[in-house]
Structure 1
Amino acid sequence: MVIQMLPETSPRPFLKWAGGKSRLIQQYIPYFPKFYQTYYEPFLGGGAVFFYLQPTTAILTDINAELITTYLCVRDHVEDLISLLQEHKAKHNREYYYSVRSHRCENELEQAARLIYLNKTCYNGLYRVNSQGRFNVPLGNYKNPTICQEKLLIAASKALSSCEIKKADFTYLLASATDSDDFVFCDPPYHPISSTSYFTGYNGNSFGETDQIRLRDVCAELASRGVKVMVCNSDCEFIRNIYAEIGFKIYAIAASRSINSNIQKRGIINELLITSY
């Protein structure tokens, strides 16, 4: 397929997501491959790159089961989902937020509506769970949160309509992506650039050096098949070294860091964009 600039009315992420790539896509455009048939995104998150590219054929996965359930409901039951979100919007206040946060949902549609509601009203749009797997982000300070964005959800549903969406570890790529017709975009949990910057609350597990090397090895195997691979990560010696070892190209991208408890530590930093081609 050919990469084209899309109009402002094109689908966009329906979730706020830490590390989301919406603000970086303009810098990524020169590095996207010109031609491919099937798009893979194994760390789906907010899906900004998918929604920008709108590939004809896509396989979207993430290890976060609740996130995948939400994407499936947006794809398959968007009208029912909108109805539940309208109920959340009508009832929203501080007490209601914490009631929903502690509530166990009875079905997948309720679970999806709950995730979107909490995502739009919690602090900084974070997704974090405790050791028991319970969402534990406090209420954010919003006067009028956009809980139910009907047009955005409908546009997202249409964009996802032909996609395969499933819960899976990134190693599934080894059984799926096989040749130069495939493009894999990997946006894994970033390697920490300091001893205090680990974030382990995404699915109850950390993504440490061993996982980063496992991902690097998967990317190396895919590249040996001719698969086009693009990886984002933090700009640090460890990440630079493990991808330089396999001959991948490494580019520095200026990114804005907006999630930090210390406002003084928010600002522009370099991240890495790494490609096999």
Structure 2
Amino acid sequence: MQPSLFADLQDLRDTADDVPPFRTQLIKWIGNKQRYAEQIIAHFPKTYGTYFEPFIGSGGVMANLVPDRALGSDIFGPLIEIWQCLSDDPDRLKHWYAERYHEFHAGDPKDRYDMIRARYNAAPNGPDLLFLCRACYGGVVRFRKKDGLMSTPLGAHPVIKPEKFNKRVDMWVPRTAGARFERLDYLEAMARAAPGDLVYCDPPYAHSQSILYGAQAFRLEELMEAIADAKGRGVHVALSIDGTKKSGNTYCDIAYPDDLFENEHFVNIGRSMLRRFQMDGQTMEKEIVRDRLLLTY
């Protein structure tokens, strides 16, 4: 039976095997794993200490896992500002969204969206990003290479009303109650993990455009070194990374040390939202994507 909206954290854990996957998004973010989180979590250790997610993004895996203790982090300040507000003052988060929703509907939607986006670009902040990520085209928050400014236009979909967003906040609060959120480089976050802890890495993919992440500088070789260091300390690490594209026929070869990972699994994540964005919404039947899930245990 699905737990009630106000079920406490222990209730959520006790009934975790009896409820359907949690797929109600709070924010939209490219690479969101929420729809496939149960496939990923099925390969996590049954017991672990603190859960770390150093590329927090939309937090979809954490919300399905409902960990006792967790650290969600990213170097992207506006994104972490949203997560910290959810944790510290969810009513304020609701106010942020409602205020911009009404601002958006006070005139021509495109003009109002452009105004909010221009304000964000002049001074990047969590409140504006919260609304923009829900209103922008395809939920793809894109940043221009030349100046780092968000450039995604307004989407064609209706923007959810504050009342519906408020319900989502109420659903997310108990699911992230065990977590704290900090603005950290992923290397610093991973260095905090102790023996028996679990780190889930979902970094920008090597075959994706870096402009979609607008945040932490990322080198695959550096991440592999951090994973090796964590494994050496007795930390469990799971890594989502490029797997196959184009209906599984193109294998994305990622270089990593032969003895770093003990197991490899594939997660079918459907059609690529990035490719849909690039193709202006054209049909995507031939663009099936499968992620690799690499495990150090």
Cross-structure match for 2:256: 242
Cross-structure match for 1:253: 267
Q: Does 1:185 align with 2:197?
A: no
TM-fit CA distance, 1:72:
0.9
Whether contact under 8 Å (1:81, 1:112) holds in the other structure is no
Whether contact under 8 Å (2:113, 2:154) holds in the other structure is yes
Identity %: 26
TM-fit CA distance, 1:83:
2.2
1:117 pairs with one of 119, 122, 131: 131
In structure 2, stretches of 5+ residues that fail to align are: 1-12, 244-250
Distance 1:3 1:188, change over 3 A: farther
Q: Does 1:276 align with 2:296?
A: yes
TM-fit CA distance, 1:121:
0.8
Q: TM-score, normalised by structure 1?
A: 0.85
Write the distance in 1 (CA, Å) between the matches of 2:58 and 2:45.
21
TM-fit CA distance, 1:71:
0.8
Task: Look up the equivalent residue of 2:83 and give its one-letter code.
Answer: Y
TM-fit CA distance, 1:125:
0.6
Cross-structure match for 2:159: 145
Write the distance in 1 (CA, Å) between the matches of 2:99 and 2:261.
52
Higher alpha-carbon deviation: 157-166 or 16-25: 157-166
Distance 1:271 1:119, change over 3 A: same
Deviations 1:132-155 (A, max 9, x none): 33221101112x211531011123
Cross-structure match for 1:155: 171
TM-fit CA distance, 1:272:
0.3
Cross-structure match for 1:212: 220
Whether contact under 8 Å (1:75, 1:158) holds in the other structure is no
TM-fit CA distance, 1:258:
3.3
* Cα RMSD, aligned residues only: 2.7
Write the distance in 2 (CA, Å) between the matches of 1:68 and 1:126.
17
Distance 1:214 1:248, change over 3 A: farther
Q: Does 1:47 align with 2:59?
A: yes
Distance 1:233 1:96, change over 3 A: same
Distance 1:35 1:3, change over 3 A: farther
Task: Look up the equivalent residue of 1:268 and give its one-letter code.
Answer: I
Task: Look up the equivalent residue of 1:184 and give its one-letter code.
Answer: V
Write the distance in 2 (CA, Å) between the matches of 1:117 and 1:145.
9
Number of residue equivalences: 265
Task: Look up the equivalent residue of 1:199 and give its one-letter code.
Answer: S
Task: Look up the equivalent residue of 2:150 and give its one-letter code.
Answer: F
Cross-structure match for 2:229: 221
